[in-house]
Structure 1
Amino acid sequence: MKIDIHTHIMPDKMPNWVQKFGYGEFIHLEHRNCKACMMKGDKLFREVEDNCFDAALRLKEMNERDVTIQVLSTIPVLFNYWAKPKDGLETSRFFNDHIANTVTKNTKRFIGIGTVPLQDIDLAIQEMERCVTELKMPGLEIGSNINGENLSEQKFFPFYKRAEELGCALFIHPWEMMGENQIQKYWLPWLVGMPVETSRAICSMIFGGVLQAFPKLRVAFAHGGGSFPLTIGRIEHGFNVRPDLVAIDNAINPRDYIGKFWIDSLVHDEKAMKYIIDVMGEDKICLGSDYPFPLGEHHPGKLIQTMGLEKDLQEKLLFKNAEDWLGV
């Protein structure tokens, strides 16, 4: 069995919100000459394959790659945190309804997690409650920062509190990477920026006291925890030698939080996989592929299955840890 916690999906049709709302660079999809084009306003943003929105093709590829269940989440560029709150709520509801409808048609193969307009905490909580209670989603995907603000900001604490109360799992995905405008060449925002951005999110939630204040909050981070596992020694050292700069909101050693959150397995390298198992713990790593995008693991779980790991450990990594994170 395999549960892939890190996959993305989008509707094959969506409103042209730029025309409707009269501002911004909302994404919509246009089908041109047998190509699916993500349009940002009136400009081409990215061409995507049909498996980004075609559930039947997705199921076919899952069968070919022995994936039992996919956890479906939106594409981060569709978070729309920059939009006016009421417009962000409208787009979030649209994507959540689409994911819920996809799951309803394939309940044995798909689990959906939602998106919420975190530019407005009250609206975000409102939509989170709808996702959990009405759409029966076990969690949400949120960005590694919200319009440049770290996840440690006190303004987000009511959101975390309600998520903990609802038993709503959170999947943190990097987006709007720090300094990306300076590193456009060589695809560096994705190769370098994303791992750093994920570590930013983890450190923010640790040092800001989020994980301390909400110990029952189930949080998972994408891309193998980014650069956090490899730099935990540096992070801990900084905490020890400059507590006046690091420990200003939380005086607990950051290493003590290892084992209190999850990461996915998307590291692309056997030595890196062995390392994160050793550092982060065999109970806190879930299979994640980033399907259907090129930078993902093209045969989800193959790395785990070809490392000669014990059967019990393989089962944890392939599906049992995902069940624990999702609470299913």
Structure 2
Amino acid sequence: MSTPVVDFHGHLAVPAADALVAGTPGFAAELAAEQRAHSPESLSVNRAQLRQLAGKLTSVPERLADLDAMDVDIQVVGPMPMHHYWSDENLAGRLAHTVNEAVAAHCAEAPERLFGLGSVPLQHPALAVELLEWAVTGLGLYGVSVSTTVDGRELADPAHDPVWAKAEELGAVVFVHPWGCSLGERLATRYLGNTVGQPVETTVALSHLIFTGVLDRFPGLKLVAAHGGGYLPTYVGRSDHAWRVREDARGCAEPPSAYLRRMWFDALVYTPRALCHLVEEVGADRVVLGTDHPFDMGVSNPLARLDAAGLAPAERAAIAGGNALDLLLKGRTR
């Protein structure tokens, strides 16, 4: 039998989690920052899209119908990437429990086709370690989704080392998916906050993880980057050059490009040429399909886009599903 087709990048809305933060000062501040970072026109389009997609973001039958239409056998389903890292320990714990239980329940309706990722409160690392273990060993999730910064703190901050250590121990996936952009008002016009800003955020977050030696300390960490890893694979030669010529840039043991082959990247780069370049830079064994289902910045024809790249049959099969299954299932503690 052929290897199943796996989409590594699907989203789930959790209304019960939204209710927990509604009316809190932290959420009000989060919304205010979002309003500054997008034009009124973009905010209106976003709100309309969320209303339109409500069923696809919560209904298992609607999700499975979409997967069938895309010829996708399995989808990795993670929460909407709003982790509310501003929340205090009590609220953060309730949020993680609510989100992770919702993801597990959603995937349990079609366990052969839906593999779940949860959320952990990285702003409280000890709690995050506890909840990561519970998500994987208690709820059967395959890892967690994280954003690119933690209330202004970089993912590469040493405070998060216990979380990466636990993820490495459990064989859990850590899916890096940005929410918003720290450039704020500079990218508010014409939806640049998402179009340009989200790839920038991913590029910066991954660069911190590489240059500060996090991936040296945790070589077994299963780190997966959304949106093809942002701009990093495209211009990693500049990072290598800095590492070679500047002592102050040499916080990692190897040239930065070497670490691209220690991460995984989804194939959501839109054009055959871009996908071929991603494969050339990171290796075909480090790329997985990603649709960003069901949002408009995603794609509904991932296999057609993969085929348009004209890769060798073995590379095509690996990206279509083989890499994802190896990543999800090998070395996993349950």
TM-score by length of 2: 0.88
Moved more, 296-305 or 117-126: 296-305
1:196 paired to 2:200? yes
**Residue of structure 2 in register with 1:34 after alignment:** none
Of 214, 220, 234, the residue aligned with 1:216 is 220
1:55 paired to 2:56? no
**Residue of structure 2 in register with 1:309 after alignment:** 311
CA contact (8 A) 1:17 1:26 kept: no
Distance 2:274 2:287 in 1: 13
Offset, 1:46? 2.4
Offset, 1:327? 2.6
CA spacing shift, 1:26–1:142, aligned 2, 3 Å: farther
Q: Which contiguous aligned blocks of 4+ residues in structure 1 show a shift greater than 6 angstroms? A: none
**Residue of structure 1 in register with 2:7 after alignment:** 4
Of 205, 217, 238, the residue aligned with 1:234 is 238
Distance 1:230 1:208 in 2: 20
TM-score by length of 1: 0.89
Task: Describe the SS at the equivalent of 1:250.
Answer: coil
**Residue of structure 2 in register with 1:283 after alignment:** 285
CA contact (8 A) 1:151 1:201 kept: yes
Deviations 1:120-174 (A, max 9, x none): 0011111101101111112111111111211111111111111111111111111
**Residue of structure 1 in register with 2:34 after alignment:** none
Distance 1:87 1:291 in 2: 28
1:149 paired to 2:150? no
Task: Describe the SS at the equivalent of 1:298.
Answer: coil
1:120 paired to 2:120? no
CA spacing shift, 1:67–1:85, aligned 2, 3 Å: same
Structure with more helix by fraction: 2
Deviations 1:178-236 (A, max 9, x none): 21222111100111111111111111111111110111111110101110011101111
Q: Which amino acid aligns with 1:327?
A: L
Distance 2:215 2:274 in 1: 25
Q: Which has the higher contact order (CA 8 A, sep 6+)?
A: 2
CA contact (8 A) 2:14 2:79 kept: no
Task: Describe the SS at the equivalent of 1:25.
Answer: helix
Q: Which amino acid aligns with 1:320?
A: G
Equivalent residue runs for 1:235-314 within 5 Å? 235-244=239-248, 246-247=249-250, 249-314=251-316
Offset, 1:237? 1.1
Offset, 1:301? 2.5
Distance 2:28 2:109 in 1: 28
Task: Describe the SS at the equivalent of 1:51.
Answer: coil
CA contact (8 A) 2:148 2:178 kept: yes
Equivalent residue runs for 1:54-203 within 5 Å? 54-77=59-82, 79-203=83-207
Consecutive unaligned residues of structure 2, counting only runs of 5 or more, are 30-42
Distance 1:22 1:175 in 2: 19
Identity %: 31
CA contact (8 A) 1:18 1:26 kept: no
Consecutive unaligned residues of structure 1, counting only runs of 5 or more, are 28-42
**Residue of structure 2 in register with 1:35 after alignment:** none
Task: Describe the SS at the equivalent of 1:152.
Answer: coil
Cα RMSD for the two superposed structures? 1.9
**Residue of structure 1 in register with 2:40 after alignment:** none
Distance 1:138 1:58 in 2: 19
Distance 1:293 1:13 in 2: 21
Distance 1:279 1:291 in 2: 25
